Structure 1
Amino acid sequence: MPYALALALTLLVEVPVYTAALVRAGGLRPARAAGAAVLVNLATHPLLWWSLRPYSAGPAAAYWTAFGIGEAGVCLVEGALLGPLTGLRLRTPLPWAAATTANAASVLAGFLLGS
């Protein structure tokens, strides 16, 4: 899958998930929630995408290990970025749950599309 398509798919899946969670559970305005969702993805998606490239030609076990570690890191970074972008307290579960749920949804979408 080309990078631009992967980023578009990620945003298409993750922005609504983040927005719903941050509006319903966090009380944010929809525009602020969606903006934060786009920004955290623009901060993490390119780094994960390009850091996985060297593993794509090697053994599957190496790729999937890097993928799992990378996705876990993305969840942590996105959760941490939500604090300053939204005003949410990082000691509450919402930023972490939203980041984990949004990323799980986009990984699932990627798997379902066969990429």
Structure 2
Amino acid sequence: MGFKFSLILSRKISKSEINTLREAGCGQAEFSTDTLPTDASVTVARLDFDDTESPSLEEAIESGLAAVKAVPDLGIPGLNVPAQPAHLPAAEHEAAGDLVDALAEE
């Protein structure tokens, strides 16, 4: 079991964009559809991660965010980070919280 989080993208994505995202670092992500957090009538893509390779939750999230930048005109209006397993050091939880706070300020 790895670091779990989800990225809500700003729009639907094509099969070629899915391939681009997989090549850019989202190979472990599960792709599905969701709705825009601010407008439930807009259908968008959702990437669910269970990252078993990154050494920290912060690095896992940063890797996912960087991969999305490989697709032009694609944004990330939503980030969901569920409670992580208790075996993670407290510093991991704090670092992930700081990252989420920084994204909220953008």
Instruction: Report the TM-score when normalising by structure 1.
Output: 0.36
Point out the structure with max Rg over C-alpha. 1
TM-score (norm 2): 0.38
Instruction: Return the structure number with greater strand share.
Output: 2
Q: Which is richer in helix?
A: 1
